[in-house]
Structure 1
């Protein structure tokens, strides 16, 4: 019993989903054999391939090597903030927002040991940056990945549709950064620790990354996962074994639970009364519901009630700001920082940013 409670405390999202599924099966039972059909396996397969490839890039050491090389060109606190935000946003477009955080936040913490930095504020802005930057591509975050696969649109069309929102939010974030950080001189000359790179690994991962995205774009992610998975199991098995398998399990349960909830008569009635027929309503629903259940579950649930993938993508993207639970990336960033007093300061920046981005996103949705 004690071990079960310890697991629940360590993996609260998965635990809540399991309890919710049991409750749903007790209150509104459906044959267990029908549950796998509720899962969007194309999305799960695409996420699996991306997890393997991003773990390979991360394990190669290339990202940390590149980051340390770049920071030596920075001479001020504000310049470092600009760089960290740009780096986090850029990495999140292709390597997902979680991977970007696992590279940029530890890098920032290591630099903090060399020279004093406003570390809490910097980590908060990095979290905002991965949420804003990851909007651009289908690979940037799980909700984009899901909407890309279910909408059937091409990779290029998705980027074209979400590009204006990403650009607007990044401009807003940089303006806020200019006001929040000083032009205080920095001395990073002590950062001389070597960072070796596994060149064969990063080279193979880069080639496979391009091939996998092309396969996923034509909805053949299963073939891509088979090739990537078998290849790395034979060559570097630790990479496959070390990916976040629990995240994939969470996604499977999320599809089953949220689609089961969406099928409940009273939920259908409530959503029907609200009505998601217009783009603005679908957008607002995504932005607001994300504040309560996070943007990935919000996207999965609301997709049952609207086919306007663009409006929904805008909404759940904006929903990643605001309350910390709006995006799992926020929780990861705060956890990685290990700094006290993060929650209050996080919301002092994220809540106004959510409101402002909500207004800007709504205007772009209606006028572009």
Structure 2
């Protein structure tokens, strides 16, 4: 008779809980708030941000298919073969990440670049965790410039009713400060040594051209679905298609990442609506630019920059000032931007959160005053 798998031990369960501490933390917060401050079901549906979760689901499915096809590994070998040094290779990835985030949004950029970075690191001496941290900084900086670069910009652009180029021009001074700081830091932090290949690990063969082509088309379709507000439909079609044609890829998706974001959305959405929080905001003079700027950054550190935008949007008459604040607030603690959490989760590197904070918090302290001065003087 076939042997049954051993049941998980207490130590294994404890390790799983430790690995998913963010999910546990926000699940506890959401449950506690639901017990002590119950709300109608419609409020929870609103906080859950189903279109955003659907978009993330579709992206995870398409990227998993691309990974399973071998296209990422093939691209990694091609990129490394043309690189002369770790610094030039790292700067190429950082610049590509920032540029992609301007048109494809910050999370889509990470879903493309981080798997490529991991594949490059598997065949070379590229410092993977260092690169992932730099890429998290790069998407926050690059997406700041574009009205469609991230969810908070899209919301504020639509609210401001400014033309696309006018919004981008207003964000340009702050975005340039961020991009210059990220590029300069990458130049100083990346090692100068030459790229060293590991021949035993090089396998640039595409294992399934059909899956790769199909998944690339699925990724493009999902981005378009998100752009036109049809993320749930796009995700549903991908789920059905992969369930019928590529079920193993579905099984390898990080479904706990989606559960984590669901817990974060509900927990932070409920928290930001509490009367105590609303009363604290009523005491702030958000018509003063510096007060609004500082409030947006602090709120992003506490509840992430997208919920911070929703929280402050109806309390200010200057959406550009708020946009600059919440984009700068994407630096600092990991929760400041969901892109930080996506980057760390995709990378799954030991000590990732610690290194991100060692870099991103000082980066925020340097960037915040410089971005404010650039926006006030040049905006």
Normalization by structure 1: what TM-score? 0.77
Q: Which residue of 1 aligns with 2:138?
A: 129
Structure 2 residue aligned with 1:20: 29
Q: 2:329 aligns with which of 319, 337, 347?
A: 319
Cα RMSD (Å): 4.0
1:107 and 2:132 correspond = no
1:138 deviates by 7.8
1:338 has 2:338 as partner: no
| Correspondence list, 1:183-194, <5 A | 183-188=192-197, 190=199, 193-194=202-203
CA-CA distance at 1:304 after TM superposition:
7.0
Partner of 2:90: 81
Seen in structure 2, the aligned counterparts of structure 1 residues 28 and 100 have a Cα distance that, compared at 3 Å, is: same
Work out the CA distance in 1 between the residues paired with 2:114 and 2:191.
Answer: 23
**Count of residue pairs the alignment pairs up:** 358
Change (3 A) 1:300 1:54: farther
Q: Secondary structure at the match of 1:219?
A: coil
Gapped regions of structure 2 (runs ≥ 5): 1-8
Distance 1:306 1:252 in 2: 28
Rounded Cα–Cα distance in structure 2 between residues aligned with 1:189 and 1:110: 5
Q: Does 1:207 align with 2:217?
A: yes
Once residues 115 and 272 of structure 2 are traced to their aligned partners in structure 1, the CA distance between those partners, rounded to angstroms, is: 34
User: Which segment is superposed worse, 87-96 or 247-256?
Assistant: 87-96
Which residue pairs with 2:264 in the alignment? 254
Q: Deviations over 1:194-247 (max 9, x none)?
A: 222232223223333333333333322233223222222222123334333333
Counterpart-to-counterpart distance in 2, 1:28 and 1:146: 27
C-alpha deviations, 1:242-267, integer Å up to 9, x for none?
A: 33333333333333332322222221
Q: Are 1:177 and 2:186 matched, yes or no?
A: yes
Alpha-carbon distance change, 151 to 236 in structure 1, aligned in 2, over 3 angstroms:
farther
TM-score by length of 2: 0.75
What's 1:227 paired with?
237
Return the alpha-carbon distance in structure 2 between the equivalents of residues 313 and 52 of structure 1.
Answer: 31
The CA deviation string for residues 163-209 of structure 1, in whole angstroms up to 9 with x for no partner, is 66555423322223333446444454848822222322232233333
Q: Does 1:274 align with 2:284?
A: yes
* Residue 44 to residue 308, structure 1, CA distance change in 2 (3 Å): farther
Cα distance, 1:29 vs. partner? Answer: 2.5
Q: 1:148 maps to which residue?
A: 154
Q: 1:181 to 1:231 in 2, by over 3 A?
A: closer
Contact 2:74 2:204 in 1 (8 A): yes
